[in-house]
Structure 1
Amino acid sequence: MLSRPVIGIVDDEASMRDALVALLTDNQFDAVPMASIAEFQDAQAHTSFDLVLIDLQLRDESGLELAMSIRRALDIPIVMLTGRGDETDKIVGLEVGADDYVLKPFNPRELIARIRAVLRRYGQPMRPVLDADADSRRVSFGRFVVDQKQRALLGADDQEIPLTNAEYRLLDYFLSRPNVIITRVDLLAELGGDLTKYVDRTVDVLILRLRRKIEENPSKPVHLQTRRGQGYIFVAHDLKRSA
C-alpha cells in the first residue's frame, strides 16, 4: 500500500489547525498540526514532510521567515495561507520560496486541488529541455548557463547570478518550453497563486526582474520577449548542450 503524503500545518489558530487536519485527513493525507516555528522545528527533526502549509501571520512570528528557513535547508514544497490580499505579499511569498499562495477564507476543494497540484510538480520528473545535457542537466543560452541540478544561473566564469525561487522557477519553466507563447495565467498556475486577482501584475513584475538578470538590454529583450495580447515567449535559437 502506498503511504499517504504527510502535510505539516503551521498555524497559530487552533480552530484553523483542527479544520485543516479534518480536511486533509478526509482527503487521504496525514496531517501534523503545529502552532509555532519552534513546534515545526521539533517535529521536523523526526518527521519527513511532503509539503508544509504555513500561515503568513503567525502570532509574534513571521511565516515568511519560516518559509525562507525551510527553503534554505529542505527541498519540500510550501503553500502559504493568509487572510491578506496585498499583491506585494503574494510576490514576496513566491520569491522567498513558497510554491503556492492561498487566501483565507479558502474553498476546501480548491485548497486540496492546489496541494495535489504542487505535489505533482515536485513528484514528476523534469521534462527534458531542448539541447540540454541529460547527465549534467545544464543548458546554455547567450552568455548564461543554467545548472538545473543545482538550480542555479551562472554567468561569466561560472559566477552564480542570484535568483529568487520564483525567478528560477520562471526561467526553468520557459527553458522547458522554448519558442512557445505562454499566457500569464499559465505562468501563474505554474508558479502557484490566486488566479482571480493580480494575475497580470504579479507575472509582469517577475518577468521584469528576470529580464534585468538575463538580458543585455531589458527594455529590448533578446530571449524573454513579450507577445502583445498573447503572453511571453522564450526565444531559444541559441540553446546549447553543456558538458
Structure 2
Amino acid sequence: MQRDQSEPLIAIVDDDENVRDTLSALVRDSGFGAVCCPDIASFMALGDPPQVNLALIDLRLRGESGLTLAIHIRERYEIPIVMLTGVGDEIDKIIGLETGADDYLIKPFNPRELVARIRAVLRRYGHGSAKPGIASGPGISFRDMRVDVQSRRLLDADGEEVPLTNAEYRLLEYFVRNPNRVIPRPELLTELGSDMERYVDRTIDVLILRLRRKIELVPSKPVHLLTRRTQGYIFDLGPDHP
C-alpha cells in the first residue's frame, strides 16, 4: 500500500529487528510513515538530505553510537531527533548541548508517551500541528515571553513558539509556577519524573544551560534563571511581578 505523502515520515534507527518492527507498527498505527534503519549506514543511504521528518534513534547501536548519528544530523540538517536510551546511560551526555537531541525516552517506555513526544517535537518543527486553530490559554509572563500552560508552549514577543524539549518545558513551567523561591536540585529532579530519578545533579545543570540559551538575553549573565550556590536555583519573573 502506498504511503500518504502528507504523513510525517519517521526514520527508526535501531539494531534490534523486533524493536524496529514494533516501533514501525506503532508509528504507522498513529498516523505516521516509517522507514527502518538497522544501522547508521542505512540511515545515510536515505539520501542527502534524508527525506524524513524525524529521526528516532537508539543510543546503543551494535558496534556504534546513536550519538554519532545525532551529531551528524544536527550539524547538517534541520531534522528533529528523539533518542531512545537505556536506564544505565548518562542522560546529560544525551541531552548535552553538543548533540542537539530534541527529546529522549528511557526504555522501557509507554508507547502512548512515545507517540505524544513525537507529535510534540514534530509540531515544534511545523509538521502535523496538534490541533488546527489551537488557541492560547492561561499563561505566565516574564520579560516579553509567556509560558502557555494550556498548550505547554513558550511563546516569544511575537507569539511565536520557542522550541523546548519535554524536559526543558517541564522544568521551566515548574520555575514560573514557583517564582522567587530557591529550589534545590533534588526537588527539580523529582518534578521531572521517574525517568530522571536515577541521575545526578549534573542532569539539572545541563538543562539549566539549555534553558538559559533560550530565555535569557545574555545567557552568561542571567536575570531570570539564577543560581544560588550550594542551594539550587531561583526564578525571577521580573519587576512587573511581586
Instruction: Please give the range of the TM-score, normalised by the shorter of the 2 chains.
Output: 0.5 to 0.7
Query: Which residue of structure 1 lines up, in the alignment, with residue 226 of structure 2?
Result: 225
Q: CA deviation at 1:181?
A: 4.7
**Which amino acid in structure 2 is aligned with residue 93 of structure 1?**
I
Q: State the match for 2:195 in structure 1.
A: 194
Q: 2:94 is matched with which residue?
A: 93
Letter paired with 1:207: I
Q: Name the SS of the counterpart of 2:46 in structure 1.
A: helix
The DSSP-based 3-state class of the residue aligned with 1:49 is: coil
Query: What RMSD in Å do the two structures reach over aligned CA positions?
Result: 4.5
Instruction: Return the alpha-carbon distance in structure 2 between the equivalents of residues 179 and 26 of structure 1.
Output: 37
Q: Which has the higher helix share?
A: 1
Query: Are the counterparts in 1 of residues 56 and 81 from structure 2 also a CA contact under 8 Å?
Result: yes
Aligned with 2:60 (options 57, 62, 68): 57
The 5-angstrom pairing of residues 14-25 of structure 1 reads 14-25=17-28
Residue-by-residue CA offset, 1:90-115 (whole Å, 9 max, x unaligned): 11111211111112222211211111
Aligned partners of 1:170 and 1:110: how far apart in 2? 16
Superimposed CA distance per residue, residues 158-205 of structure 1 (whole angstroms, 9 cap, x where no aligned partner) = xxxxxxx98xx969x97xxx977578479969xxx9356549652244
Relative to the length of structure 2, the TM-score reads 0.61
Distance 1:64 1:234, change over 3 A: farther
Q: Secondary structure at the match of 2:125?
A: helix
CA distance in 1, matches of 2:121, 2:210: 24
CA separation of 1:110/1:195 partners in 2, compared to 1, >3 Å: closer, same or farther?
Answer: farther
CA distance in 2, matches of 1:107, 1:131: 36
The percent identity for this pair of structures is 47
Aligned to 1:26: 29
Q: Tell me how far apart the structure 1 counterparts of residues 87 and 190 of structure 2 sit (CA, whole Å).
A: 23
- After superposition, give the CA deviation of every residue in 1:22-66 in whole Å (9 maximum; x if it has no partner): 111111110000011111111133742111111111111111011
Report SS of the residue matched to 2:26.
Answer: helix
Give me the TM-score of the superposition, normalised by structure 1.
0.61
Alpha carbons of structure 1 residues 44 and 103: separation in structure 2 relative to 1, 3 Å: farther
CA distance in 2 between partners of 1:24 and 1:131 (Å):
37
SS at match of 1:54: strand
Residue 190 of structure 2 contacts residue 197 of structure 2 at CA under 8 Å; is this kept in 1?
no
2:81 maps to a residue whose letter is I
The letter of the residue matching 2:95 is: L
Distance 1:48 1:186 in 2: 38
Aligned residues: 196
Paired residues of 1:170 and 1:187 also in contact (CA < 8 A)? no
- C-alpha separation between the residues in 2 aligned to 1:207 and 1:93? 15
CA shift in 2, pair 1:195/1:84, >3 Å: closer
Change (3 A) 1:129 1:70: farther
Determine if contact 2:70/2:81 at 8 Å carries over to the other structure: yes
Residue ranges of structure 2 left out of the alignment (5+ in a row): 130-135, 146-155, 213-217
Higher relative contact order (CA 8 A, sep 6+): 1
User: 1:31 and 1:99, CA in 2 relative to 1: closer, same or farther beyond 3 A?
Assistant: same
Aligned position for 1:68: 71
Whether the 8 Å contact between 1:82 and 1:103 is mirrored in structure 2 is yes
State the 1:117 CA deviation.
Answer: 1.8
